């Protein structure tokens, strides 16, 4: 693990330092657990009392928290982002030496930059292009004509299918599948005729795609993931979806085909989009919500119902199923009548 001085960190990330610039730190930890050679952070100045008793080598915090801090401080307007950058220095990724592992199978006409790493048991298809410093971990499959821009990282056992394009610095986590065939069938009599999916997937720069997430290629035209989009694990993106820059999708989200998500949207865990709909920019959808139509105004949208004790909930559901009758009874009361139907 690297050892770095607070002074170096302050200079490198443009932070003010209150404390000893020569103090060396080697890793990050929580406020509670951090020892004298570790860096912690406090994002929210309102929680400054959590600094009491802190024994970290340094805490990354907001200027307004400095007074409360018993140890050295690295001072940042955005402590969480500064901490993230420091953590990346102290916890570098495992080394991935340039070159192709002898067990990898690389097509003769694939173009792999000499600085790229192609790990064991990986397979690179014909005419694929692999950029500078790309890391392809063990057991990955890259299809024919796929393009991985510089510094892309496929962690392990990732599948990138034919013609998919992935922007610089994007990271694909284990088991993710990009460019699988969309779910497109034409009904004919009682059966389904497969409709070839001739589009592909274009992924921007600085995207992350979670473990076992699946992104289907377009039917006609492409599925498009904008730059800086972050997608968690076990997310399903149907064919011809588009996601605007810097949107974030939490785990288990499902986008049916031709769902269009704007920029800077946030979809909570388990959110479902019904397809053939558009969310404008800056829409937040809270967890477990189903969206069935366009959303044209930025804001927060919800549809999930929090858990209740089961007996209470059964009563609620029973009443809910008869809410139409209940409403009609209220109308009758408003008209001065008592309806036939009992409670």
Question: Which positions are annotated as active-site residues?
Answer: 239
Question: Does 217 contact a copy of itself by CB under 8 A?
Answer: no
With CB under 8 A as the contact rule, which of the stretches 50-58, 64-72, 109-117, 323-331 interacts with a copy of itself?
Answer: 323-331
Shortest distance (Å) from residue 202 CB to a copy of itself: 15
Q: Which of 54, 66, 96, 105 binds a copy of itself (CB under 8 A)?
A: 105
For position 45 contacting a copy of itself by CB under 8 A, the verdict is: no
Q: Does 101 bind a copy of itself (CB under 8 A)?
A: yes
Contacts of 176 (CB under 8 A, 6+ apart): 158, 159, 209, 210, 211, 212, 213, 214, 215
Q: What are phi and psi of 85, to 5 degrees?
A: -70, -40
Query: Does residue number 64 form part of the binding site for a copy of itself (CB under 8 A)?
Result: no
Asked if 298 touches a copy of itself (CB under 8 A), the answer is no
| Residue 252 beta carbon to a copy of itself: minimum distance, rounded to whole angstroms | 4
What token pair was written down for 76? 């940042």
Query: Footprint of a copy of itself on residues 119-158 (CB under 8 A)?
Result: 119-121, 123, 137-139, 141, 143-144, 155-157
Indicate the burial class of 136 (C-beta count within 10 angstroms; 0-12, 13-18, 19 or more).
buried
User: Of these, 19, 26, 63, 174, which contacts a copy of itself (CB under 8 A)?
Assistant: 174
Q: How far is CA 160 from the centre of its chain?
A: 17
Part in contact with a copy of itself (CB under 8 A); list of ranges 25-33, 47-55, 67-75, 110-118: 25-33
Query: Phi-psi region for residue 238, left (φ > 0), alpha (ψ -120 to 50) or beta?
Result: beta
Q: Does 12 bind a copy of itself (CB under 8 A)?
A: no
The secondary structure of 20-70 as a DSSP string is: -TT-EE-EE--TTT--TTEEEEE--GGGGGGGTT---SEEEE-GGGGGG-S
Nearest distance, CB of residue 55 and a copy of itself, angstroms: 15
Query: Does 326 sit near a copy of itself (CB under 8 A)?
Result: yes
Q: Which of 28, 118, 152, 225 binds a copy of itself (CB under 8 A)?
A: 28
- Packing angle of the helix pair 6-13, 79-90 (nearest 10 deg): 120
CB 250 within 8 A of CB 230: no
Strand, coil or helix: 163: coil
Using CB under 8 A as the binding rule, whether residue 220 contacts a copy of itself is answered as yes
- Binders of a copy of itself among residues 189 to 208 (CB under 8 A) are 190-196, 198, 206, 208
Query: How many residues contact a copy of itself, by CB under 8 A?
Result: 134
Find, among 245, 246, 252, the residue nearest to 237 by Cα: 252
């Amino acid at each position: 693990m690297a050892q770095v001085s607070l002074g170096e960190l302050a200079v490198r990330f443009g932070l003010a330092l209150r404390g000893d610039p020569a103090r060396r730190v080697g890793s990050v930890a929580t406020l509670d657990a951090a020892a004298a050679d570790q860096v912690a952070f406090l994002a929210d100045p309102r929680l400054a009392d959590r600094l009491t008793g802190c024994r970290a080598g340094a805490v990354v915090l907001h200027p307004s928290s400095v007074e409360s801090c018993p140890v050295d401080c690295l001072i940042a307007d955005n402590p969480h982002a500064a901490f993230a950058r420091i953590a990346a220095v102290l916890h570098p990724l495992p080394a991935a030496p340039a070159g192709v592992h002898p067990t990898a199978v690389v097509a003769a006409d694939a173009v792999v930059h000499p600085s790229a790493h192609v790990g064991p048991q990986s397979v690179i298809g014909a005419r694929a292009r692999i950029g500078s410093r790309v890391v392809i971990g063990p057991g990955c499959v890259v299809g024919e004509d796929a393009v991985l821009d510089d510094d892309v990282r496929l962690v392990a056992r990732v599948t990138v299918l034919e013609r998919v394009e992935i922007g610089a610095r994007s990271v694909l986590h284990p088991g993710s599948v990009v460019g699988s065939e969309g779910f497109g069938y034409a009904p004919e009599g009682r059966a389904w005729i497969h409709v070839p999916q001739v589009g592909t997937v274009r992924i921007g720069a600085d995207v992350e795609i979670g473990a076992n997430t699946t992104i289907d290629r377009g039917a006609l035209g492409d599925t498009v993931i904008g730059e800086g989009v972050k997608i968690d694990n076990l997310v399903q993106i149907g064919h011809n979806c588009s996601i605007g820059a810097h949107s974030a999708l939490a785990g288990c989200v499902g986008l049916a085909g031709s769902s269009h998500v704007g920029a800077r949207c946030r979809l909570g865990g388990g959110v479902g989009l019904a397809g053939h709909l558009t969310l404008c920019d800056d829409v937040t959808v809270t967890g477990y919500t189903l969206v069935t139509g366009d959303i044209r105004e930025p804001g927060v949208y919800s549809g999930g119902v929090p858990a209740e004790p089961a007996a209470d909930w059964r009563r609620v559901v029973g009443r809910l199923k008869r809410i139409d009758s209940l409403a009609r009874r209220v109308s009758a009361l408003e008209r001065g009548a008592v309806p036939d139907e009992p409670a």
